[in-house]
Structure 1
Amino acid sequence: MTSATQLLASIEGVGRDPRRGGFSRHGFDRVELELREWFLAEAERRGLAVRGDRNGNLWAWWGEPGPGAIVTGSHLDSVPGGGAFDGPLGVVSALSAVDMLRERGFTPAKPLAVVVFAEEEGGRFGVPCLGSRLLSGAIDPDTARRLADPDGVTLADAVTAAGLDPARLGRDDDVLATIGTFVELHVEQGRGLVDLGAPVAVASSILAHGRWRFRFTGEGNHAGATLLGDRHDPMVPAAEMVLAARIAAADVEDARATVGRLVPNPGGTNVIASSVDVWLDARAPDDAATRRVLEKIRTMASDAVHREGCVLTVTEESYGDTVHFEPGLRDRIAAALGGIPVLPTGAGHDAGVLAAHVPTAMLFVRNPTGVSHAPEEYAEPADCESGVTALAAVLGQLAG
């Protein structure tokens, strides 16, 4: 049996980001394609038959593919400068759990698959869980094909370069129909398990969350020659909008609002920008609360735009309502694992997208720092192995 930490170590040199620290692995780029080849090799080493679907997701099958399959896995891409565990831990744990089950002489009575979903983080094309959204029909394929990365490469271009047909992107009922139950293991993105003193938990829910682009348009001009009173500087309302995000989220219980990306055009030090794009990530316990946060930010940004004589446009790039994982499956898993804790999460996952279509569950592995989406993200080897043991037990029960 190859441990999860050994498998993680085998890819620790792939996609390191010397500028940001951590890893930058984005959907269908050179690094992510290298990780796909690694996954193919590991699956073939285990005698698993790998099939790619038309949306770029990879499926490694133990048994003949068919309806009622028990599916596990996660993703291999990352946010810019992300940690080593978000995504890959779920993939390597699935492979290691297959090893563990085989060592015990287990043979699944149902088809069992390990899946790698494409572009889960949205780090390249801006929409999270893109592979599972396309698979399930949660995003219009024409919209998806037009998505472009910061270099102007569209998703259609990227999948073509990867050997896929962009015309075939979209809902895949044949693949979706094979999934009987999906269980995703993930490093916890928070401190819940640290505070509880437990290595593994099962998920209860995912906060409602979305991403919006605020575009502030003004008048580009000379930084030295333009008097303050003559300016229509979009950076000023953009800056006020960043502060508005904190203020708005603080007014709604358990809400979060974040600006992690801001791009001025043309971006010169001695130039008043002509436009500024600001991306907002907002999350709250339910749809109504999330929308309240968004509307307060929009209102405050609109007021700032009016004062500066600029124009604001707001575009919703992705949205997911609150996800409540199937209670019967959740409780069955918690009981089978000795009554492990049940935790909500503020992070989005492919499991949350699929939950609208198939019974879905998640396992979390303790993160001692609580830090995620950053190089400091971590899980102790012993906790990783506890996660593998838990996942193997769940897969054995569901597929037995």
Structure 2
Amino acid sequence: MPPGSAERRFQSIQRSERRTESVQWTESVIQRTLKGIEGIGGDRLRGGYSRHVFTSSELELREWFRAEAAARDLDLEQDGNGNLWAWWPGPSRPRQAAVVTGSHLDSVPGGGAFDGPLGVISALCAVDRLRACGFRPARPVAVVVFAEEEGGRFGLPCLGSRLMTGAVDPARALRLRDADGYTFAEVAEHRGVPPRFIGPDPERLARIGTFVELHVEQGRCLADLDEPVAVASTIDPHGRWRLSFTGVGDHAGTAVLDDRRDPMVPAARAVLAARAAAREARADQARATVGRVTAYPGGTNVVPSRVDVWLDARAAAEPAARAVATEVEAAARAAAEEEGCAVEVREESWSETTRFDPALRAGMRAVLGDVPVLATGAGHDAGVLAAHVPAGMLYVRNPTGISHAPDEHAEPADCAEGVAALARVIAEQAACGEGGG
């Protein structure tokens, strides 16, 4: 097909679409869909949503996705790692060099309404938009829902995509435990995902010709630039570490202060050390966060016997992110020794700098115009896939700049712009021609 013919076809369709007010239709669909799922996984304690993999709320969202795929006659399948794939066209067409889009449906504890679901909803709407225009893709198109992207239940982010690509040892993944002590293997088996099938899936990975993930912006660059949509350039390197402090449990009312070996004290100093280390590396755009602390046994009137602290460290450059973690570990060990406690430090995940495919990015900008190009400190399944296939991302403006919290937001008009952009990218990548393929 001559270069740009799909784009010319799409431009002519866009002119027709303006006459049928498709933008307003897309806004309405996105608003209605978000409204339809807003009661699923609402967190009364934290606010926002807690939709963790294989919990009742996440399973309900999976059923919602199955119904949406069926309504569009998309052929749905679940892979061995619990990821969902909805294919257009159906099973009669070969599934190679596919254009894949989508995101995830799980959330962080108390997360916002857009992180994950917007990418899935937008992918479905983009398929609707292309079909309404009369497109028939020459290459197959798939909408994917990746499992456990946030790591909210088992602690390892992008678990579904990491397993599929072989980025994590399946034996390690199966041993992961949730807050109630259940292993990933036990939960997956109970939910119809046999552990014997969990792990690298090179055949499925080889089907992907291009992967494009749409996501609500995490930050407020687009609001400052007064632009609704951007493409991604890189993801900053980032890692997670668990610091487990152990001491001696005792009674809060009878344990003499000078005799205590209280692991909460060095844990608290580690939290302060994280902030200090990030400030020292501010020139490298370092961020260090302790967003989760668990004390055992967890009684108000009990000196804990163990305290677990989870450190998240990120920076624009890998050495800086590593240096922050190293500095926090040194401070934690010194504080533990002073208190008479022990500390164990374990790296739970590490992601190097992700550079999205430059040719794909250039192609997306050629289709979309001179849209902004943004780096981000937030991890995504697209970042995992980028090591194996041409991958890219689209961001939709977040006027609050807040993410992973209830105030996360995107305006319906901007969401519609995101769907239009995604549809144009899919059309170009799927090489849709006159009369279909």
TM-score by length of 1: 0.99
Output aligned runs, 1:21-170, within 5 Å: 21-63=47-89, 64-170=93-199
Match of 2:242 among 213, 224, 227: 213
Q: CA deviation at 1:332?
A: 1.4
Q: Comparing both structures, which one devotes a greater share of its residues to helix?
A: 2
Query: Which consecutive residues of structure 1, in runs of 5 or more, have no partner in the other structure?
Result: none
Alignment check: 8 A CA contact 1:61 1:112 kept: yes
Match of 1:264 among 295, 299, 311: 295
Structure 2 Cα separation of the partners of residues 273 and 224 of structure 1: 13
| Cα distance between partner residues in 2 of 1:201 and 1:19 | 34
Q: Deviations over 1:297-341 (max 9, x none)?
A: 001111111111110100111111110101111121122101100
Tell me what 1:371 maps to: 402
- The whole-number CA distance in structure 2 between the counterparts of 1:395 and 1:274 is 54
Letter in 2 for 1:285: A
3-state SS of 2:37 partner: coil
- For 2:279, the equivalent position in structure 1 comes to 250
Question: TM-score by structure 2 length?
Answer: 0.90
Structure 1 residue aligned with 2:365: 334
Matched-pair contact (CA < 8 Å) for 1:141–1:169:
yes
Larger radius of gyration: 2
1:385-396 matches, within 5 Å, as 385-396=416-427
Q: Distance in 1 between matches of 2:178 and 2:94?
A: 34
Q: CA deviation digits over 1:3-60, x for unaligned, max 9?
A: 2222222211111111111111000111111111100110111110001100000000
The structural deviation recorded for 1:65 is 4.7
- The match for 1:233 among 262, 273, 276 is 262
Pairing 1:177–2:206 present: yes
- The whole-number CA distance in structure 1 between the counterparts of 2:35 and 2:230 is 24
Matching of residue 299 in structure 1 with residue 325 in structure 2: no
> What is the alpha-carbon distance in structure 2 between the residues aligned to residue 358 and residue 8 of structure 1?
30
Distance in structure 1 (CA, Å) of the matches to 2:412 and 2:170:
40
Letter in 1 for 2:110: G
Does the aligned pair in 2 maintain the 1:4–1:388 contact within 8 Å?
no
Alignment match, 1:312: 343
Q: Confirm or deny: 8 A CA contact 1:5 1:384 kept in the other structure.
A: no
Confirm or deny: 8 A CA contact 1:183 1:361 kept in the other structure. Answer: yes
Task: Tell me if structure 2 keeps the 8 A contact 1:65–1:178.
Answer: no
| Residues 151 and 395 (structure 1), Cα distance of their counterparts in 2 relative to 1, 3 Å cut | same
Q: Is the 8 A contact 1:221 1:272 kept in 2?
A: yes
Matched with 2:12 is none
Comparing 159-168 with 47-56, greater Cα deviation is found at: 159-168
The letter for the 2-side match of 1:69 is A
Over residues 264-308 of structure 1, what are the superposed CA-to-partner deviations in whole Å (9 max), with x where a residue is unaligned? Answer: 111111211111000111111122111101000001111111111
Correspondent of 2:38 among 12, 21, 28? 12
Distance (Å, rounded) in 2 between the aligned partners of 1:36 and 1:267 = 34
Q: CA RMSD in A?
A: 0.9
> Following the alignment from structure 2 to structure 1, what is the Cα–Cα distance between the partners of residues 75 and 182?
31
Aligned residues between the structures: 400
User: Partner residue of 2:18?
Assistant: none
The offset of 1:67, in angstroms, is 1.6
Kindly indicate whether the alpha-carbon contact (under 8 Å) linking 1:24 and 1:79 is maintained by their aligned counterparts in 2: yes
Residues 200-220 of structure 1: CA distance to partner in whole angstroms, max 9, x if unpaired?
000000010111110001111
Contact 1:256 1:282 in 2 (8 A): yes
Return the letter of the residue paired with 2:80: R
Residue range with higher mean Cα deviation, 224-233 or 292-301: 224-233
* Secondary structure, counterpart of 1:280 in structure 2: strand
SS in 2 for 1:66: coil
What are the superposed Cα offsets for residues 123-162 of structure 1, whole Å, 9 maximum, x if unpaired? 0000000000000000100000011100011111111111
What does residue 15 of structure 2 align with? none
Q: Please identify, of 178-187 and 251-260, the stretch whose mean Cα deviation from structure 2 is larger.
A: 251-260
Name the structure 1 match of 2:252. 223
CA distance in 2: counterparts of 1:5 and 1:248, whole angstroms: 42
Deviation at 1:224, TM superposition (A): 2.0
Contact 1:199 1:386 in 2 (8 A): yes
- Once residues 264 and 11 of structure 1 are traced to their aligned partners in structure 2, the CA distance between those partners, rounded to angstroms, is 34
Q: Which runs of 5+ in 2 are unaligned?
A: 1-24, 432-437
Residue 10 of structure 1: SS of its match in structure 2?
Answer: helix
Cα distance in 1 for partners of 2:187, 2:255 equals 42
Aligned twin of 1:323: 354
* TM-superposition CA deviations, 1:250-269 (whole Å, max 9, x none): 11120111001101111111
